[in-house]
Amino acid sequence: MSLFSRLFDVIGETAATAFSGVVEAVRTVFAGDPETRRRVAFSVAVIALSAKMAKADGIVAPEEVRAFQEIFTIPEAEANNVARLYNLAKQDVAGYEAYAQRVAGMCGSGESNCAMLEDVLDGLFHIAKADGLVHEKELEFIANVADIFRVDEAHFERILARHVHPDGIDPYAVLGVPESTPFDEVKKRYRTLASESHPDRLRARGVPEEFLTIANDRMAALNDAFATIEKARAAA
């Protein structure tokens, strides 16, 4: 049985109650299977953050719902169950800190700049910009989640550069290097980030298959940034 099928079996009995009841039910039902419980808990927490983030600007736009569906590839037969969970979580923004803490705790106590948590932030940005604009309230929401995730300022600025660029994309900011960086070091940095963003790396750190769509977006941003720098250096 798939991850979502098992998750939805639980939700079917609890989705009419508070969302916290769903989380508690997941913990109980999967108590004997720690790895599956970890993946299910990750999915539930991310669904909650996604729904509450979409509500942060006061309106859950259809584009944001579709963006969520792009991140979580959902079998048609299970779509109604996802909708029930998502709609339950999106009623308001309250309580999102608790779900952010749950996800953060999966990276170990006190760990900063955890790669899995960067995956989550990329997913939230993907949803936030789906309606054409990252609203100030949405950015504030994501920044607060990043603080809970212990993502430092420089690391968050690099993530931000991939998604929000009102003055045009800064390829150096995307790669997180100064413009004065020698090209060999730029290439080394690009290769490191590209390796960390490979879907196999995401699987290895426990990200559910349904969440791997973000790897393609991140790789595209890294590839474009490096290509832009390489072209500019060649023409100089």
The pTM of this model reads 0.80
- Residue 74's Cβ-side half-sphere holds a number of Cα atoms within 13 Å equal to 23
- Residue 216's Cβ-side half-sphere holds a number of Cα atoms within 13 Å equal to 7
In this structure, the dihedral spanned by the alpha carbons of residues 158, 51, 215 and 78, taken in order and rounded to 10 degrees, is: 180
Q: How far apart are CA 27 and CA 72, in angstroms?
A: 21
Q: How far apart are CA 199 and CA 197, in angstroms?
A: 6
pLDDT in tens, the chain (236 residues): 555 666 666 666 554 455 666 666 677 777 777 777 777 777 777 778 888 887 776 777 777 777 777 777 666 766 776 777 777 777 766 678 877 887 787 776 556 788 888 888 988 898 888 878 888 888 999 999 999 999 999 999 999 999 998 888 999 999 999 999 999 999 999 999 999 888 788 777 767 776 777 888 889 999 999 999 999 999 87
Q: What is the residue extent of each domain of the chain? A: 3-235
Q: How far apart are CA 8 and CA 20, in angstroms?
A: 15
Question: For residue 133, what is the DSSP state?
Answer: S
Q: How far apart are CA 11 and CA 15, in angstroms?
A: 5
Question: For residue 2, what is the DSSP state?
Answer: -
Nearest to 116 by CA among 208, 209, 207, 3: 207
